[in-house]
Structure 1
């Protein structure tokens, strides 16, 4: 804790080093001396969106007003100290360092690991500090490991990860030379030892209780082979997309259809036996390939392998995706392409063909506007490209007449609505 006296807002530099019972906090500013002391840990709530460590809280001793704290790449925290209160005491709560017995090092390959966290990255060296910091803030007494998969980066990602893992027996990295998120995730889980394999992204910040929350979710859903969790928007200035804020649990029974986006790869955990049953993640799918849909494909494969799927709000990450509204159309187009290949893959399977043809038709009928028409066109085109890539044409040909019929019906319906609206507007004048 540091006590400061100031008459104006001052930038205060807070440096942290781990201690047995908390963190040593060193605070200094241009107008004060340097103080340091042990900060005890406590239960906290998320603070400013600019701060990737969830369990940080700052307040004045005489006020409950929140102060924005910003973590810098060098490991320090910058926090403004404003005047106008009776006391300028700053209290900061930070996560306790992981206990020495918690990490499972490679020196003990026989010990069972509860959760393996797999994160794939490509050319994000300058943006990894937030995720690395959040992983360091994980708090659990369970055995877990973190596996980073460098997906053939051409920047200094490998060096950044090596420096980060220098004194961290929990984390390790591997190289996937085949570009594509599906291939990288496949390599990640194949190198993992956990009975649960949790996938998140390199721009996501898991909550401190992430490991415990995943284990609790699977314990409460013994029939689930895959569980998706909450994905919160880290920065309110980013586009509200690729998030899942629901707090209501959901269960999807085995051998049922789930739409794309139902469970998202930014926060998705599998039982090891479920991944083994489906042969792992399809390496032909995912970001970096022509068909970005590896997450919903894996979920569907698990469902049709005889497992349930669930959404549980307890495992939570913050998504710092960096996209603004202008980026949304291109992202939605990539989702359309992903859905097309997703539908095609399961239309090519005899046991799922009827279900997916009917669901595709149903989805098309609900989108009775010109945007829906463009979406269907993209889906059909990508479905054909997927069939060509897989050299499987016969089964997909069964769906083509249905797709063309849906396209024609949708065009007629859209034309009818547009003509009717123009006629109504003309008569109303």
Structure 2
């Protein structure tokens, strides 16, 4: 397999230890004669930058890119611009690829039809000490968990999560990469950049696939298991949904806004009358995000 087939991009911001653990897991399995690894430092602090540079000097092979402006989509696009691969895999800095991740993904790519534009892999949560908490489906989704097995076409119903994903370079180039209007930046919990990319490549006729054979363990920080974080995440999901719909010129967003405007007061009353249930609460926060963003209010932080 020539070098121009497979690139791996890891983007990081102030999580040097996590990023280096991810890189070490990749380093132990990747055939550098046929593939490449690119680390994009998204404006980490000087101390974190020093840790990264020292750590990758021991690994020798990863290409290090430094950006002075933070932003996940900016970082992914910078990595994309330097890739030599026909396929570009993205692994989050707080994810640890399984020992067979490289070989399993390589096998999938070797058999990928020409109309496949993107492939999502399995993401298994790694919870803090104490075992997995009791989480509802919406909370799990906000934690970027997709631990289902099997292989299937998910063009109609997206299952790809960018924390463990692979895109055909031609498909990403055709849609202009990841939208910088979306994606995490500083304290914002804005998201949806991977979903918007999937919408755009689907419109161009590419298919999207899910394959559970290539898998990562995704670390779940303790603060993401708090009510404060998940409520903020649900609120920002509503904001992200409307911004994404605007970028897609999707007129269906008006129906979504109307539905949220009607549902929010009802959910607010139910949350007062019914026993506390996170699904109710998170749906309320999501709807509030939809309505407020539709009015073009701009929240200043993620602590909604």
Partner of 2:64: 173
Aligned pairs, number: 272
Note if contact 2:192-2:241 (Cα within 8 Å) is conserved in structure 1. yes
1:380 matched to 2:277? no
The 3 A distance-change label for structure 1 pair 173 and 348 is closer
Partner of 1:204: 95
Partner of 1:342: 241
Note if contact 1:238-1:321 (Cα within 8 Å) is conserved in structure 2. no
Q: CA deviation at 1:347?
A: 4.2
Note if contact 2:122-2:211 (Cα within 8 Å) is conserved in structure 1. yes
Structure with greater proportional strand content: 1
Partner of 2:148: 246
Moved more, 212-221 or 359-368: 359-368
| TM-score, normalised via structure 1 length | 0.56
Question: Pick from 226, 232, 235: which aligns with 1:333?
Answer: 232
Question: Pick from 166, 171, 174: which aligns with 1:269?
Answer: 166
Question: Pick from 187, 198, 201: which aligns with 1:299?
Answer: 198
Structure with greater proportional helix content: 2
Partner of 1:158: 49
Moved more, 312-321 or 119-128: 119-128
Q: Distance in 2 between matches of 1:321 and 1:166?
A: 28
**Could you report, residue by residue, the CA deviation over 1:64-114 in whole angstroms, capped at 9, with x for unpaired residues?**
xxxxxxxxxxxxxxxxxxxxxxxxxxxxxxxxxxxxxx9xxxxxxxx6332
| TM-score, normalised via structure 2 length | 0.76
Note if contact 1:139-1:209 (Cα within 8 Å) is conserved in structure 2. no
Note if contact 1:251-1:308 (Cα within 8 Å) is conserved in structure 2. yes
The 3 A distance-change label for structure 1 pair 365 and 309 is farther
Q: CA RMSD in A?
A: 3.2
1:118 matched to 2:9? yes
Q: Distance in 2 between matches of 1:375 and 1:342?
A: 9
Q: CA deviation at 1:155?
A: 3.8
Asked which structure has the greater CA Rg, the reply is: 1
Unaligned runs of 5+ in 2: 134-139, 269-280, 299-304
Note if contact 2:260-2:290 (Cα within 8 Å) is conserved in structure 1. no
Note if contact 1:123-1:154 (Cα within 8 Å) is conserved in structure 2. yes
Give secondary structure in 2 for the equivalent of 1:292: coil
Q: CA deviation at 1:250?
A: 2.9
**Could you report, residue by residue, the CA deviation over 1:100-137 in whole angstroms, capped at 9, with x for unpaired residues?**
xx9xxxxxxxx633221111111113434422321222
The 3 A distance-change label for structure 1 pair 338 and 169 is same
The 3 A distance-change label for structure 1 pair 322 and 157 is same
Q: CA deviation at 1:362?
A: 7.6
**Within 5 Å, which residues of 2 pair with 1:182-197?**
182-197=73-88
Q: CA deviation at 1:301?
A: 1.9
Higher relative contact order (CA 8 A, sep 6+): 2
**Could you report, residue by residue, the CA deviation over 1:381-424 in whole angstroms, capped at 9, with x for unpaired residues?**
2344389xxxxxxxxxxxxxxxxxxxxxxxxxxxxxxxxxxxxx
Note if contact 1:303-1:309 (Cα within 8 Å) is conserved in structure 2. yes
Q: Distance in 1 between matches of 2:183 and 2:17?
A: 22
Q: Distance in 2 between matches of 1:365 and 1:210?
A: 45
Question: Pick from 229, 243, 247: which aligns with 2:121?
Answer: 229
Q: Distance in 2 between matches of 1:305 and 1:317?
A: 29
Partner of 1:322: 221
